[in-house]
């Protein structure tokens, strides 16, 4: 049974209704159905719940269905939700466990970002005394490619050299002729960048040009990373240390994609590559404390400053 909603209730937020008991309800429409998201102490909290649900239910146009602009924290919600079904996300919102689980995800992610300094096998960073750090990923380069004009142009595709495609990427048959002479089959490949942001690419074989290519997803990567001709894309396979905290069901191996940007002086790695982390344990502790404090603040209603705290960011 849904809570009673005041017929005269008005709110400036999408999907938020005031209840007769003074609390605020959140609801969203999807597939011509009304989906109840729960009851909240403030209109702003209900509005934030609506925003979280819209990511999953309206991913095709989530930006136009938000109450609050994206922040440096909430921008990670889509990646968090990718590992959960729609029903699971909605249940988390209704059960008021969404914020805590998202916070747990951010903690693990922050740990991974802190140690995502590429540690090529054979040149691992050593701590004082010569002991190898067990908190660093062991990453091995698979292959790299210098980008051509067509790789970053209007064709919206990256050509993978055949010798690397058949050795390092999922098997795709070159023999079956497609009905239109185009791609005969495709698979989705998942990579993470240095900030541990997930990137998904459609990988297929184009019979017409006899080439292995990344198509869907590649154009977004080009724009986000501001890629140009002669920049170098590097692909790695990475192992997560056995003593490293991971989320339930998370693999201890993953693929990484990185960029060496070209300059007049030649190819150069991004600035953060050289910012090595020497004490990840201390960084983890600070991260845990930070998010633990912020989660306690999230459920507070509007304060004198005219806003509320959501995942550590003040929403006005």
Q: Residue ranges of the domains in the chain?
A: 16-112, 117-274
Q: In what order do the strands lie in the sheet with 33-40?
A: 16-18, 24-30, 33-40
Q: What is the DSSP string of 121-156?
A: TTS--B-TTSPBPTTS-EEEEEEEEEPPTTTTSTT-
Tokens at residue 283, please? 């960084």
Backbone angles phi, psi at 292, to 5 degrees: -60, -40
**CA-CA distances (angstroms) from residue 271 to 31, 67, 161, 255?**
45, 35, 28, 21
pLDDT at 243: 64
pLDDT at 52: 94
As a residue count, the chain comes to 316
Of 64, 55, 54, the C-alpha closest to 26 is 54
CB 203 within 8 A of CB 169: yes
**CA-CA distances (angstroms) from residue 91 to 24, 47, 250?**
18, 16, 21
**CA-CA distances (angstroms) from residue 162 to 240, 294, 313?**
28, 49, 46
pLDDT at 37: 96
3-state secondary structure of 234: strand
Q: What is the DSSP string of 237-301?
A: EEE--TTS---TT--SEEEEEEEEEEETTEEE--GGGG---S-HHHHHHHHHHHHHHHHHHHT--
pLDDT at 115: 54
The CATH number of the domain covering residues in 117-274: 2.40.330.10
Q: How far apart are CA 66 and CA 76, in angstroms?
A: 15
Residues of the chain with pLDDT under 50: 1, 6-8, 117-134, 177-181, 183, 271-316
Q: How far apart are CA 280 and CA 111, in angstroms?
A: 7
pLDDT at 307: 43
pLDDT at 116: 54
pLDDT at 269: 52
Dihedral angle computed from the Cα positions of residues 70, 72, 77 and 83, in that order, rounded to the nearest 10 degrees: 150
Q: Report which secondary-structure segment, H or E, holds 96.
A: none
pLDDT at 72: 81
**CA-CA distances (angstroms) from residue 96 to 6, 91, 157?**
23, 8, 42
Q: How far apart are CA 100 and CA 106, in angstroms?
A: 10
Q: How many CB atoms lie within 10 A of CB 227?
A: 20
- Give just the sign of the alpha carbon dihedral 166, 172, 173, 177: negative
Q: How far apart are CA 15 and CA 103, in angstroms?
A: 24
Q: How far apart are CA 51 and CA 66, in angstroms?
A: 5
Q: How far apart are CA 48 and CA 33, in angstroms?
A: 20
CB 40 within 8 A of CB 287: no
């Amino acid at each position: 049974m849904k809570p009673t909603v005041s017929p005269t209730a008005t709110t400036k937020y999408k999907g938020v209704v005031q209840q007769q008991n003074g609390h605020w309800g959140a609801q969203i429409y999807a597939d011509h159905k009304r989906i109840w998201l729960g009851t909240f102490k403030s209109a702003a909290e209900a509005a934030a719940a609506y925003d979280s649900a819209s990511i999953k239910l309206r991913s095709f146009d989530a930006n136009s269905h938000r109450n609050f602009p994206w922040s440096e924290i909430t921008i990670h919600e889509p990646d968090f939700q990718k590992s959960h079904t729609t029903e699971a996300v909605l249940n988390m919102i209704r059960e008021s466990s969404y914020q805590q689980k998202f916070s747990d995800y951010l903690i693990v992610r922050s740990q991974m970002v802190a140690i995502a300094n590429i540690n090529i096998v054979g040149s691992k960073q050593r701590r004082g005394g010569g002991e190898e750090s067990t908190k660093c990923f062991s990453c091995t380069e698979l292959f790299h490619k210098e980008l051509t004009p067509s790789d970053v142009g209007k064709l919206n595709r990256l050509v993978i050299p055949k010798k690397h495609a058949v050795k390092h990427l999922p098997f795709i048959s070159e023999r079956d002729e497609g009905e239109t002479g185009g791609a005969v089959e495709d698979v989705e490949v998942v990579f993470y960048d240095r900030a541990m942001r997930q990137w998904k690419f459609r990988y297929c074989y184009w019979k017409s040009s006899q080439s292995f290519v990344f198509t869907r997803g590649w154009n977004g990567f080009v724009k986000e990373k501001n890629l140009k001709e002669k920049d170098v894309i590097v692909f790695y396979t990475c192992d997560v240390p056995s003593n490293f905290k991971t989320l339930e069901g998370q693999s201890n191996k993953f693929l990484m994609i990185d960029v060496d940007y070209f300059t007049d002086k030649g190819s150069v790695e991004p600035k953060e590559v050289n910012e090595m982390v020497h004490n990840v344990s201390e960084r983890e502790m600070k991260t845990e404390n930070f998010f633990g404090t912020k989660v306690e603040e999230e459920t507070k209603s509007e304060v004198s400053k005219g806003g509320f705290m959501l995942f550590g960011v003040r929403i006005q």
